[in-house]
Amino acid sequence: MLALAVVVVISYLVGSIPSSIWVGKIVKGVDIRNHGSGNAGATNTFRLLGWPSGVAVLAIDFFKGFASSLWISQLAYHIGSGPITFSFWDVDPFLMIVCGVFAIVGHMFPLYANFDGGKGMATAAGMLCGIEPVSVGIAAVVFAIIMFSTRYVSLASLVTAFVYPLLLVMLKHGFGWNLDGSVLLLGGIVGLGIIIKHRGNIKRLLNGTENRVSSFEPAVGWLNKEEKPQSGN
């Protein structure tokens, strides 16, 4: 139990790294949550700071989930008597899932940023890639198609979150892939969590007021505006 507690705490702390907030302060000296959509995520960073900063945030957020599920989870084998075991669940998938989930929780509710974080899409993608990369690759293609055809990042995130669990079911039962049942359960929970986190975006999409991504160049003049952030991507 000690081993599990330690890797869970480490995963949460890694997930709590507020990359967009720190990048915003380094690049422009501002808290990105006070501008644009107000969301501490890669999309808002792309809009306000441009593609170099956006890519940096996206890569860090992805790596937080990837490292937690693939590497940090394995530290449990070297702590005390090792990880606890379950007769109904393989140990490795269990550790990877738990560590990855806590990295996502850390991203959404970061300790280092007053528990005000992002929506977890990139961190979830990193976690799932560490567990089962093929399905994540297919989901990434779906995301790119929706995003570039509609210019709505939120819509692409929602569709991908809905499709991802179906991809896992298809791989396991349609193509005979050896996927632990816990991975399918995880895919459904993560997908549902991302959809719930985007409930404000869903309302704006239905109302036709959701922002589109028009360019990867930084927004002009936003730093000089007295701007109230609006909930969004």
Q: Give 211's pLDDT tier (boundaries 50, 70, 90).
A: confident
Q: What is the DSSP string of 193-223?
A: HHHHHTHHHHHHHHHT-PPP---SSPPSSGG
Q: What's the mean pLDDT in 28-40?
A: 91
Q: Contact, 19 vs 56, CB < 8 A?
A: yes
Structure pTM? 0.87
Is the pLDDT confidence value at 192 over 50? Answer: yes
Tell me how long the chain is: 233
Q: What's the mean pLDDT in 185-204?
A: 90
Q: In this predicted structure, what is the pLDDT of residue 57? A: 97
Going by C-beta distance under 8 Å and a sequence separation of 6 or more, which residues neighbour residue 80?
2, 3
Q: In this predicted structure, what is the pLDDT of residue 89? A: 62
Q: What is the pLDDT of residues 137-183, one digit of tens each?
A: 999 999 999 999 999 999 999 999 999 999 999 999 999 998 888 88
Q: In this predicted structure, what is the pLDDT of residue 164? A: 95
In the chain, what is the straight-line distance between the N-terminal and C-terminal CA atoms, in Å? 37
